Structure 1
Amino acid sequence: MDRFQELEAFIAVVDAGGFSAAARRTGKSQPAVSKAIGALEYRLGVALFNRSTRRVTLTDQGQRYFDRMKPLLEEIEAASRELVGSTLDMSGSIRVAAATTFGRLHILPLIPDLLATFPGLEMDLVLSDAMRDMVEDRIDLAIRVGPVDEPDAVVRRVAGTPLVCVGSKSYFEKHGIPETPAELVNHNCLLYGGLRESANWPFVGPKGPFSVAVRGNLSSNSVETIRAGVLAGVGIGLFAKVSLVEELSHPDVITVLDDYVRDVRDVSFIWPKRRFVSVRVRRVTDFLAASLQTRL
């Protein structure tokens, strides 16, 4: 049997959730679909599906094979459509991951225009400050602020955002405003666990870059928590500026140590560790990148 037909049958069974549904979707008979899957499993020497009378699910080997082969099939189909001059099909789902605050402030407002531009698109937006495994969580595109430690991934820098050090008027009325970074040792510094500088904040002085070890009574892996702590007058926070677009216009929030805070964080788009990335993911990436560059 043709290997491409085997692959098409495999993808159809996964997407449709069963052999009968895949047969209806592809216009082939169920025995033909079953034969194609059997030939594929025989050729690979592994079982791709767990079969029962109620449901069909992927084995671990099947899941890994699906994660690698579906983008490849999409590339082949897209190349074929482009070759014959057909309109690019942008229907289907895409899963995008972003940090909670950044996603709420900067990605969510773009979704209406994105879906209006590509009406057949189904968007799954995953907002979490936790660093996600893109392959395991089936993330098509991740948007991150800060260093990217994934040497095998495809990384596209979109913009840069400076760091800012901020506190509330109520906090500074009680504890005073630090004039130099060294004075932070006498202040309550709120620590975001996702930053590498969570205990050592970076600054630049006349002699060059240096860091200051800071401490505080509140730390969190959520930017939202640290932002709320600053507004409540608990302490001082160090943020990427894109996370504070609302607070920086708040009358009770004050930036401090501006002459010493020079670091810039990259805003990057990341594709997972795959050889092929679907045209749909590339088109969504281009749309979001262009939109963000006008916002940041």
Structure 2
Amino acid sequence: MDRFHELTAFIAVVEASGFSAAAKRLGDSQSGVSKAVGALERRLGVQLLQRSTRRVNLTDAGRSYYQRMKPLLDEVAQADSELASSTMELSGLVRIAASATFGRLHVLPLVPKLLALHPKLKLDLQLTDGVQDLLADGIDLAIRISPTVSPDAVVRRVTTTSLVCVGSRKYFALHGTPKTPQDLVHHNCLIFNGMDQWVFDGPRGRHSVRVSGNLASNTVEAILAAVQADVGVGMFNGASLAGDRRDPDIIQVLVDFISETRDLGLIWPNRKFIPARVRQVTDFFATELAGRLGTSLGGIGAPS
């Protein structure tokens, strides 16, 4: 078996904390990765990994070997990347993760342009509002609003989006328009991901209002659909209401009480080496999203 393949498999298992996650990262089968690591251990005559049904741990010999070999593998990858980037044609697979609503609204429309520029590029786009372990899931690039990530991750801030409190014209016509944040206790507030404390600014500084309603969901899409269906009031980042999804019947309230913003960031997992294709795809989305959101944010109606 190829020694470089053995080493690559071993490094991937260590960094992904398991054979299954390493296989996803490498685009290989779990059995193939396991065989490669086993061949490496037999060739070296030492056990590098302690395997159990739940996790994989480094032995002392494995830890020492990883610390010696990882920089060498990074140097090889960097040399390959520099040579590949000198040709302007990108190829290979890039796995991208984005939140469901933001991804459908702002990432998907950019995909045709990216693939037209780089026909040999392959994208695996995963849209979910759930929290992902980027490294374990083999994600190369995550596009998140105010992401919660490992402190070792690389986050590139693209732009900011304001929070907005909105409802439909019909809902406010039936139930009245809130004039202060405290008025929300008398409204049907729709709860995303358990967040029932909405933060506002006022004469006495920042304060939160506990809200409640008859619908909660772990997806922005469901809350937005309920707002559009005149069910109640929702709190969103402005990017979720921008662009093609802007609805003239959705109006913003309590504007003077909201100053909080969210950062849109492009995230690389905790890896020292970033392939050239991932770097260039990141640059593409940084430029395109900054321009797209700069021209599409705002424009939400005010109550009449």
TM range (shorter): 0.7 to 0.9
Residue 270 (structure 1) aligned with residue 267 (structure 2):
yes
Q: How far 1:275 sits from its partner (Å)?
A: 2.3
Q: CA RMSD in A?
A: 3.7
Taking the aligned partners of 1:230 and 1:173, their CA distance within structure 2 comes to 14
Taking the aligned partners of 1:6 and 1:92, their CA distance within structure 2 comes to 21
Aligned in 2, Cα 1:132/1:249: closer, same or farther, shift over 3 Å? Answer: closer
Aligned in 2, Cα 1:72/1:169: closer, same or farther, shift over 3 Å? Answer: farther
The match for 1:120 is 120
The match for 2:280 is 283
Write out aligned runs for 1:134-213 (5 A).
134-193=134-193, 198-213=195-210
Taking the aligned partners of 2:88 and 2:38, their CA distance within structure 1 comes to 28
Contact kept? 1:226, 1:237, Cα under 8 Å: yes
> 1:214 pairs with 205, 211, 214, which one?
211
> 1:228 pairs with 209, 222, 225, which one?
225
The match for 1:38 is 39
Matched residue type, 1:236: V
SS of equivalent to 1:135: coil
Taking the aligned partners of 1:76 and 1:230, their CA distance within structure 2 comes to 52
Count of aligned residue pairs for this structure pair: 267
Contact kept? 2:95, 2:123, Cα under 8 Å: yes
Matched residue type, 1:38: A
The match for 2:241 is 244
Q: Percent identity?
A: 49
Runs of 4+ in 1 over 6 A off after TM superposition: 8-11, 34-37, 68-72
Aligned in 2, Cα 1:70/1:121: closer, same or farther, shift over 3 Å? Answer: farther
In structure 2, runs of 5+ residues without a counterpart are: 13-22, 294-304
The match for 2:255 is 258
Matched residue type, 1:152: D
Q: How far 1:260 sits from its partner (Å)?
A: 0.8
**Structure 2 length normalisation: TM-score?**
0.75
Residue 95 (structure 1) aligned with residue 102 (structure 2):
no
Taking the aligned partners of 1:127 and 1:154, their CA distance within structure 2 comes to 20
**Structure 1 length normalisation: TM-score?**
0.77
Deviations 1:169-205 (A, max 9, x none): 12111210000111111111001117xxx11111111
Taking the aligned partners of 1:39 and 1:149, their CA distance within structure 2 comes to 33
Matched residue type, 1:103: G
Deviations 1:205-250 (A, max 9, x none): 1332221111111110011100011011111000000001258742
Write out aligned runs for 1:43-82 (5 A).
43=44, 45-46=47-48, 76-80=76-80, 82=82
Matched residue type, 1:42: R
In structure 1, runs of 5+ residues without a counterpart are: 22-33, 49-58
